[in-house]
């Protein structure tokens, strides 16, 4: 599936995911004086002319306006207040789940201090501090303790990132058919993003009041979200989760010290491996859940592509991915375009069936290097990961490639017990010598 949107990076990179939203009208709780817009949550909650649902929506709209790279933590407070009044408010749910990853960054500038070990990195850190503007974001990032001291702590933090992505993905998965109008500001168009965001300042004079200075909301635009956008966002979140999960599935204790030991060197793979195996926890399974989720996420992705493919007349009417006429005024305006064939002429429908078959756990026949035919069952490893990678006892060839492993199925991936034959056939080193 090809996805295109001028705000794609806003949603795809959840650690940098930001939106700025606003309304052009002044509602209860919002006033303007001498260029300063004041939002008063208490005024909204005490407004007897509003129903509970209207109060929640007004608070959510306020939060939407504050949902920027520098002020998202204030938006979080307003979303919480909105959901306390009406837990079904979709706008507050949408942004709160989207912003979950950003909230894991609290205190990060202090938390990472123990990992700043070299003179150069300490100098770079001090330089960053000197140029970091005083803002709500600075307060947020420095509100913590220096508690990330080891690879174990780093992986624990990555666990929180994965949990935030899973929270966002599950929200999208459970709310595929939502329709939502997002009030977006043009701050996040590719050009001019940085300057406007850096100029905007939000202060909090008291518990439930927010003052916005140099935050011109006059260029507000509306964009719509429906199932197509939700499908796209869900798959982006799944991709992020798979990437982070692949890093965090196995214990990486010893990786930092090994890296430090061989700094500015280029040791061969066997030397690095032997060093890492000195750490008992290295390579042991931390949690199987991240790999197990890959199967269900793959099934969801296949269903999503098929759904989009069945609606190409609506999702890609121009037939051109990235053409902003495909879905004007929708989040993914460039369309969700799924061709019948790939660029090398393969049938997309056939590829989807193949992927579905592999995810079902049925052994699938493949050809390695156009010479060696065998079967693979990747889901065997995903559903029952190797408990300790060190137990594979790999040997290496003269090029530093893995030559043999003790488990001839490689965690069940090769049901014919021919993992070592596959390694031999796949070896670029062997191929070089054969040529």
Q: Check residue 199 and give its pLDDT.
A: 60
Q: Which of 198, 228, 258 is the last residue of a domain?
A: 228
**Count of structural domains, the chain:** 2
Residue 6 domain flag: yes
What tokens does 228 get?
């197509």
Residue 270 domain flag: no
Residue 277 domain flag: no
Q: Which of 205, 228, 251 is the last residue of a domain?
A: 228
Neighbours of 304 (CB within 10 A): 23
Q: Check residue 358 and give its pLDDT.
A: 94
- Rounded distance, CA 189 to CA 158, Å? 29
Give the CB-side neighbour count of residue 280, counting CA atoms within 13 A: 0
Q: Which of 228, 252, 267 is the last residue of a domain?
A: 228
Residues whose CB is less than 8 angstroms from the CB of residue 349 and which lie 6 or more positions away in sequence, other chains included: 309, 340
- Rounded distance, CA 28 to CA 61, Å? 11
Residue 29 domain flag: yes
pLDDT tens for each residue of 84-114: 999 999 999 999 999 999 999 999 999 999 9
- β pairing state of 402-404 and 372-376: unpaired
Residue 60 domain flag: yes
User: For the chain, what is the mean pLDDT?
Assistant: 88
Q: Check residue 220 and give its pLDDT.
A: 52
Residue 320 domain flag: no
Q: Which domain holds residue 88?
A: 2-228
Beta-bridge mates of residue 376? 364
List the chain residues with pLDDT less than 70.
1-27, 185-199, 215-221, 430-435
Give every strand in the sheet of 201-206, ordered side by side: 30-33, 36-40, 209-213, 201-206
Residue 265 domain flag: no
Predicted TM-score of the model (pTM): 0.83
Beta-bridge mates of residue 223? 182
Q: Check residue 29 and give its pLDDT.
A: 83
Neighbours of 12 (CB within 10 A): 18
Of 371, 359, 362, 354, the closest CA to residue 427 belongs to 371
- Rounded distance, CA 31 to CA 54, Å? 18
Residue 286 domain flag: no
């Amino acid at each position: 599936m090809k996805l295109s949107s001028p705000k794609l990076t806003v949603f795809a990179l959840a650690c940098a995911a930001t939106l700025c939203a606003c309304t052009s009208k002044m509602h209860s709780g919002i006033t303007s004086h001498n260029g300063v817009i004041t939002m008063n949550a208490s005024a909204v909650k005490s407004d007897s002319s509003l129903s509970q649902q209207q109060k929640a929506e007004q608070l959510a709209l306020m939060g939407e306006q504050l949902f920027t790279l520098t002020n998202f933590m204030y938006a979080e407070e307003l979303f919480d207040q909105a959901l306390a009044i009406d837990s079904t408010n979709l706008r507050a749910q949408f942004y709160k789940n989207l912003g979950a990853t950003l909230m894991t960054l609290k205190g990060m500038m202090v938390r990472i201090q123990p990992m700043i070990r070299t003179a150069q990195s300490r100098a770079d850190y001090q330089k960053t501090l000197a140029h970091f503007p005083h803002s709500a974001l600075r307060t947020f990032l420095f509100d913590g303790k220096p508690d990330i001291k080891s690879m174990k702590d780093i992986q624990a933090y990555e666990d929180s990132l994965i949990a935030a992505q899973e929270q966002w993905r599950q929200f999208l998965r459970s709310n595929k058919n939502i329709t939502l109008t997002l009030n977006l500001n043009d701050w996040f168009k590719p050009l001019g993003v940085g300057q406007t965001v850096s100029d905007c300042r939000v202060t909090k004079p008291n518990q439930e009041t927010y003052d916005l200075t140099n935050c011109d909301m006059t260029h507000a635009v509306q964009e719509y979200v429906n199932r197509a956008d939700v499908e796209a966002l869900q798959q982006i979140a799944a991709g992020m989760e798979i990437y982070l999960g692949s890093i965090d599935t196995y214990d990486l204790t010893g990786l930092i010290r090994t890296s430090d030991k061989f700094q500015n060197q280029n040791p061969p793979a066997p030397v690095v491996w032997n060093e890492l195996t000195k750490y008992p926890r290295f390579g042991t399974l931390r949690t199987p859940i991240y790999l197990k989720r890959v199967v269900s996420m793959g099934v969801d992705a296949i269903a999503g592509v098929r759904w989009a493919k069945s609606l190409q007349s609506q999702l890609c009417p121009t037939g051109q991915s990235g053409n902003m006429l495909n879905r004007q005024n929708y989040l993914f305006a460039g369309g969700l375009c799924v061709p019948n064939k790939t660029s090398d002429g393969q049938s997309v429908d056939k590829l989807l069936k193949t992927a579905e078959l592999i995810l079902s756990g049925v052994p699938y026949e493949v050809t390695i290097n156009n010479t060696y035919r065998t079967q693979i069952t990747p889901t065997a490893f995903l559903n029952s990961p190797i408990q300790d990678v060190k137990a594979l006892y790999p040997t290496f060839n003269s090029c530093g490639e893995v030559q043999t492993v003790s488990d001839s199925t490689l965690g069940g991936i090769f049901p014919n017990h021919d993992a070592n034959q596959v390694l031999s056939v796949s070896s670029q080193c062997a191929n070089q010598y054969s040529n």
